Amino acid sequence: MMQPVNFGIDLGTTNSLIAKHDGNKVIVFKNPIGQKETLASVVAFRPDRTLVGDKAREYLKKDPINVFGNFKRKMGSDEKFYVVNIDDNVTPVQLSAMVLKELKNFIHTGENPEACVITIPASFDTMQSNATMNAGKDAGFKEIFLLQEPIAASLAFFNESPVDMKKDGYWLVYDFGGGTFDAALVLANDHELKVVDHKGNNFLGGADLDFAIVEKIITPEIIRQTGIRNFEEELRTKHGKYEKLFYEMLYYAEEAKKELSHSPSTTIDFSVELDNKYYDFTIPLTREKASEIFLPIINETVKLVKDLLESNRLQPHDINQIILVGGSTFVPQVREQLISQIGIPLNHSSDPTISIAAGAAYYAANKYYEASPERSSEDAEKIAGEILSQINLDEPDLKIETSYNRSSRDKEEVLLIFCEGAYENKYFRIIRNDGGFDTGYVPLKAKKTEFLPLLPSVSNLFTLSVYDDNYEELRSLSQEIAITQGQYSIGGQPLPHDISVEVDDLENQTTRLEVIFERNSLLPQKRTLYREISKTIKKGSGDSLIINILEGDKNSKPSSNLTIGCIEITGKDLATDLVKGSDIEIQLHINDSRVLETSVFLVMTQQEFRNVFSISEKQIHIERLREQFQSLENELADTIRKFQHNNDDMWEIKASALMEELQSVKDRLFKLKPNDKSDEKYIIAEKIMQVSQAADKLGGNERLSLLVESYYETKEKVMSAISTCDFEKSELLKKVQKIEQTEESFIRSKNAS
């Protein structure tokens, strides 16, 4: 039996929440301890027990090396954390699973959900999404659906705010949380929401504001008062002598930051023993001073919002409002900068802390999963009966079609049923899946109407079954009917990055990307690729056929993309030799939750391989990152020289700006120690990847504008040719109109092909 998932979880970097849609409204569960809705995403390992949540966060001050937070930022990576108290390693996935399990304890309705929706930042890559899925499984969920956070935030906003507030048109979701930043452009149209585009940074959040306070305010003061040399370097070292102090400082920094959201100044007070001497620190911090050091970080978010508007050719006045989400939007400077630099009115009607969880619950109410049957002997009999009726002859000469509105604002909807073929002496029956409605057995007719009563504000799922004259079900004819009542719903989740395969580019002796799934296409997606084998693989040999799958920007080099995994078939799997040039068929499928499934068919050996895709873990080695930095630096310098040589001012300015952006991480990258415990290497890697992708596009727009121009010219020619032709005129016009409908999206895609 299909059942709505109903449970939604915001698995945040800093705070996590769980909510449920009870059929009418959303309930956000409270922690039985402390009665708060949020659970700090922190795990503490004490020698005798493990703590999850706020208690764990408090323990940070006592024993920081056994306490872990911010691990969402490391999801999908190969990083492990060593826990002294249990003398073992834990992974970000395991830590996340512990948070999820703790959230289950919030549920006071006695339910133990088998399925849930878990939110992820819109810009999470496939590896990060996959790690989140695994955390859900580790926490005991049988079915997990991932939902992008800006979609969750929009669902909460549109389903909960007053009618006069929500206009159709463009909205901007600005989600500035503890560890991640997402800006999403949302289009509302007649109760349907669509995320048109988004920009984000998985390593930009409130934690960076805390780091800035530690780095720019507390550390200099400590150095000034103690005169300790190497203090800064030592502070950041994993298991270094000031490690405990570092975490304490972060804790105080965060508290001070929050304090400054409602008072103009605060002091950071603490005493500490440093190199056998006691010190008392009282460090004053004003909102003004904090604003100054926050500005570069806030500007990063502003830049992404501007980019988002620009790449969608929108002006601030085209956007209704900015919907504020995430704890860091409490920072006054964030709001001030958005107003002064972007100029779109802000909307704070949603609670920035709970809206993602609430939105996840709205989504979950409309998401169905196959609940596990509770097996009893009665059930077993029923199943046996079902198998019998399955064998029953299906009627191939009966066709049934239905027509209805998939979303409704009424209390009931009309369903039209059309039959073709041998429908006499047969019946249909429609049951609403919650059991609240049943038509009973109704004789089929060529045309029939039924009124289906709808439960308010949820997706109503009905099953239409067909029976023969002995009331035996003709199972091949049954179908599901889903109608959403009164709610804003989402028209699918967009893919955040292009997913491509790496193919040989023999002419240039390199490799290039061939896109499989395009950014912003709505999930799920399916593609079949046909390839030729580029080298012979002998049966039984250790050689293998490897196809790399990458995520990023399809118009850039493979090295500017992230390798998310590969398809591999080795000689040992082969039934016969696989000869160079023989054909291979690759099917790829990506679902709503970004799970990538592949199957490969080798024409020559007639073998089919399923699930041959193995996902990677992100590995970032500082040495490799430095090499990557240097080659990008050289390449950019070359490019700038070329633009200078050609007096190409506009491109020179763009390239120099990228160079400047790249240089902004140089110092940090070359100072970085292999045992650095901060998130620095991920932050830098993300930056280098972004600059690299942008650098690959330099100079490219000229070509695109020429192409766009020639497209319009050709279209004009075609139209005038059609107007003079005297046969098939309307067919030809239809064809042109079909192209025209997608015109905007392919021009915006900036893809030359």
For residue 354, which amino acid is it?
I
Of positions 177, 179, 200, 565, contacts Mg ion by CB under 5 A: 177
Which of positions 245-304 make contact with ligand ADP (CB under 6 A)? 254, 257-258, 261
Separation of alpha carbons 458 and 463, rounded Å? 16
CB of 662 to Mg ion, least distance (A): 29
DSSP label at residue 338: I
Among candidate residues 674, 656, 618, 697, the one with its CA nearest the CA of residue 124: 618
Separation of alpha carbons 172 and 47, rounded Å? 47
Q: Interacting stretch for Mg ion, rule CB under 5 A, among 8-16, 251-259, 415-423, 742-750?
A: 8-16
Separation of alpha carbons 224 and 511, rounded Å? 53
CB of 132 to Mg ion, least distance (A): 13
Which of positions 334-393 make contact with ligand ADP (CB under 6 A)? 353
Of positions 331, 342, 344, 596, contacts ligand ADP by CB under 6 A: 331
CB of 326 to Mg ion, least distance (A): 5
Buried b (16+ CB within 10 A) or exposed e, 414-449: ebebebeeebeebbbbbbbbeeebebeeeebeeebe
**Nearer to ligand ADP among residue 3 and residue 261 (C-beta):** 261
Measured from the Cβ of residue 336, the count of other Cβ atoms closer than 10 Å reads: 12
Where would I find the beta strands (DSSP E) of 5-155? Answer: 7-11, 15-21, 26-28, 39-40, 43-45, 50-52, 67-68, 81-83, 88-90, 115-120, 143-148
**Nearer to Mg ion among residue 347 and residue 628 (C-beta):** 347
CB of 357 to ligand ADP, least distance (A): 10
Inter-residue contact 711 to 748 (CB < 8 Å): no
Site size toward Mg ion (CB under 5 A) is 2
**Per rule CB under 6 A, is residue 206 in the interface with ligand ADP?**
yes
715 to 29, 706, 729, 738, 742: CA distances (angstroms): 57, 14, 15, 12, 13
**Nearer to Mg ion among residue 177 and residue 359 (C-beta):** 177
Inter-residue contact 428 to 442 (CB < 8 Å): yes
**Per rule CB under 6 A, is residue 494 in the interface with ligand ADP?**
no
**Per rule CB under 6 A, is residue 200 in the interface with ligand ADP?**
no
CB of 121 to Mg ion, least distance (A): 8
Residue 206's binding partner out of Mg ion, ligand ADP, none, with CB under 5 to 8 Å set by partner kind: ligand ADP
Inter-residue contact 244 to 65 (CB < 8 Å): yes
Residue 132's binding partner out of Mg ion, ligand ADP, none, with CB under 5 to 8 Å set by partner kind: none
**Per rule CB under 6 A, is residue 636 in the interface with ligand ADP?**
no
Q: Interacting stretch for Mg ion, rule CB under 5 A, among 124-132, 171-179, 533-541, 594-602?
A: 171-179
Which of positions 310-329 make contact with ligand ADP (CB under 6 A)? 326-328
**Nearer to ligand ADP among residue 7 and residue 71 (C-beta):** 71
**Nearer to ligand ADP among residue 13 and residue 130 (C-beta):** 13
Among candidate residues 90, 172, 77, 92, the one with its CA nearest the CA of residue 125: 77
Of positions 330, 362, 613, 682, contacts ligand ADP by CB under 6 A: 330
Among candidate residues 556, 566, 608, 613, the one with its CA nearest the CA of residue 589: 613
**Nearer to ligand ADP among residue 13 and residue 66 (C-beta):** 13
Separation of alpha carbons 740 and 744, rounded Å? 8
CB of 261 to ligand ADP, least distance (A): 3
Which residues, at least 6 apart from 125, have a Cβ–Cβ distance to it below 8 Å? Answer: 76, 496, 497, 551, 562, 564
**Per rule CB under 6 A, is residue 92 in the interface with ligand ADP?**
no
Separation of alpha carbons 707 and 313, rounded Å? 18
CB of 332 to ligand ADP, least distance (A): 9
CB of 443 to ligand ADP, least distance (A): 55
Of positions 116, 207, 338, 550, contacts ligand ADP by CB under 6 A: 207
Sign of the dihedral through C-alpha 632, 635, 637, 640: negative
**Nearer to ligand ADP among residue 175 and residue 553 (C-beta):** 175
Residue 561's binding partner out of Mg ion, ligand ADP, none, with CB under 5 to 8 Å set by partner kind: none
118 to 21, 23, 100, 356, 574: CA distances (angstroms): 14, 19, 10, 10, 39
Sign of the dihedral through C-alpha 598, 601, 605, 607: positive
Q: 3-state SS of 262-276?
A: HCCEEEEEEEEEECC
x/- mask, ligand ADP, residues 161-190, rule CB under 6 A, reads ----------------xxx-----------
**Nearer to ligand ADP among residue 28 and residue 566 (C-beta):** 28
Measured from the Cβ of residue 351, the count of other Cβ atoms closer than 10 Å reads: 14
Residue 328's binding partner out of Mg ion, ligand ADP, none, with CB under 5 to 8 Å set by partner kind: ligand ADP
**Nearer to ligand ADP among residue 178 and residue 494 (C-beta):** 178
CB of 8 to Mg ion, least distance (A): 13
**Per rule CB under 6 A, is residue 53 in the interface with ligand ADP?**
no
**Nearer to ligand ADP among residue 14 and residue 500 (C-beta):** 14
**Nearer to Mg ion among residue 12 and residue 565 (C-beta):** 12
For residue 227, which amino acid is it?
G
Which of positions 393-452 make contact with Mg ion (CB under 5 A)? none
x/- mask, ligand ADP, residues 5-44, rule CB under 6 A, reads -------xxxx-----------------------------
CB of 334 to ligand ADP, least distance (A): 8
Of positions 8, 12, 496, 565, contacts Mg ion by CB under 5 A: 12
435 to 115, 591, 737: CA distances (angstroms): 20, 29, 45
Longest CA–CA separation in the chain, Å: 97
Side-chain half-sphere of 282: how many Cα atoms within 13 Å? Answer: 0
Sign of the dihedral through C-alpha 290, 295, 297, 301: positive
**Nearer to ligand ADP among residue 14 and residue 487 (C-beta):** 14
CB of 325 to Mg ion, least distance (A): 7
**Nearer to ligand ADP among residue 182 and residue 450 (C-beta):** 182
Separation of alpha carbons 14 and 70, rounded Å? 6
Residue 14's binding partner out of Mg ion, ligand ADP, none, with CB under 5 to 8 Å set by partner kind: ligand ADP
Q: How many residues does the chain have?
A: 753
CB of 120 to ligand ADP, least distance (A): 11
Among candidate residues 552, 680, 687, the one with its CA nearest the CA of residue 70: 680
Instruction: Return residues touching ligand ADP (CB under 6 A).
Output: 12-15, 177-179, 205-207, 254, 257-258, 261, 326-328, 330-331, 353
**Residues in the site for Mg ion, rule: CB under 5 A?**
12, 177
